[in-house]
Amino acid sequence: MRPYGSVRLAPTQAKAAATEKSRALSPAVYAGWVIGAPTTAQVEASRLVLFDGVCGLCARTVRFVLRRDRAGRFAYAPLQGETAAAVLERHSLASDLETMIYVADLDGPTERVFTQSGAVLTILDELGGVWRVVALLRVVPRPIRDAVYRLVARYRYRWFGRFDTCQLPAPEQRERFLP
C-alpha cells in the first residue's frame, strides 16, 4: 500500500531507473547530479528534499532537518536547480515553487515523490525519535492538511522573508547539497 502523497514510477520507468543505477558510476551517467565525479554523499543518498531555494521558511526547514539528521541520510536540492528539474520531469510534475518535495528511494526502482503536507510529515517520520509523534498528524485528512500547507505557502515570503539567491550551506554540509 502506498502512503498518501506518493507517486510510483511506471513499470517501464522503474526498469529504466534500475538499469541506469546498475551502470558503473561515471561522471556522465550518475543521474545528472553533478558534472564531474559524484561525492560519496551523493552516491549514498536515497532520500532527497527539494525546496524553494530563495524562501526563508524553506531555508529554516532545511537547517532544521540538517541539524537533526546526524546520520546524513538526506540530500538537498533547490527547486530552481537541475536536480529538481530532472526529478520533476521524470514524474511529470509542474515546476511549482509552492511546495516542498520529498523523494524517497531516489533513482531506485521504488522511487516515490511526496508533496505538500505529505512531504513534511514523511521527512519528520524518517528523522525518527520524537519527530515521529508529529508525523502522527497524518490522521488529519489530507485535504485539510494540504489546505493549511497551501495557506502557509501562499504567505511564506511575507511571514518568513525571501532571499535574492539560494543560500550557501556551511562548508561541512556542502556535499549533501545537489545542484
Q: Answer whether residue 175 is part of any domain.
A: no
Q: Answer whether residue 135 is part of any domain.
A: yes
**Which string of DSSP letters, residue by residue, matches the chain?**
-PPTT--BPPHHHHHHHHHHHHS---TTTSTT--SSPPPHHHHH--EEEEE-TTBHHHHHHHHHHHHH-TT--EEEEETTSHHHHHHHHHTT----TTS-EEEESTTSTT-EEEEHHHHHHHHHHHH-TTHHHHGGGGGS-HHHHHHHHHHHHHHHHHHH-B-SSPPPPPGGGGGGB--
Q: Answer whether residue 177 is part of any domain.
A: no
In tens, the pLDDT along 50-63 reads 998 888 888 889 99
In tens, the pLDDT along 125-179 reads 999 888 888 888 888 999 999 999 899 988 888 898 877 766 677 777 888 898 8
Q: Answer whether residue 2 is part of any domain.
A: no
Q: Which domain range does residue 133 map to?
A: 11-161
Q: How many domains is the chain built from?
A: 1
Q: Answer whether residue 21 is part of any domain.
A: yes
